[in-house]
Amino acid sequence: MKALSEAFDLAATLHHGQTRKGTSIPYISHLMAVSSLVLEHGGDEEQAIAGLLHDTLEDCGPEHATVIQAGFGDRVLRIVQSCTDGVPDESGAKPDWKTRKEAYIEHLREGPQETLLVSACDKLHNARAILMDLRTIGPDVFKRFKAGKDGTLWYYSCLSAIFLARLPGALSDELARTVQQMKVEAG
| % pLDDT > 90, the chain | 85
Q: How far apart are CA 138 and CA 120, in angstroms?
A: 25
What pLDDT, on a 0 to 100 scale, did the predictor assign at position 123? 98
Is the distance from CB of 45 to CB of 3 less than 8 angstroms?
yes
Q: How far apart are CA 115 and CA 166, in angstroms?
A: 11
pTM: 0.95
* Segment 134-165, tens digit of pLDDT: 999 999 999 999 999 999 999 999 999 999 99
Mean pLDDT, residues 56-76: 95
Going from the C-alpha of 63 to that of each of 6, 77, 94, 145, 171, the distances in angstroms are: 19, 12, 15, 26, 32
- Which of 15-29, 35-49, 81-95 is predicted most confidently? 35-49
The verdict on domain 2-82 having CATH code 1.10.3210.10 is yes
Q: How far apart are CA 99 and CA 86, in angstroms?
A: 10
* Segment 6-18, tens digit of pLDDT: 999 999 999 999 8
Q: Which is nearest to 174 in space by CA: 132, 124, 123, 130?
A: 124
* Segment 28-47, tens digit of pLDDT: 999 999 999 999 999 999 99
Is the distance from CB of 172 to CB of 124 less than 8 angstroms?
no
Q: How far apart are CA 113 and CA 115, in angstroms?
A: 5
What residue ranges do the domains of the chain occupy?
2-82, 97-186
Counting every residue, how long is the chain? 187
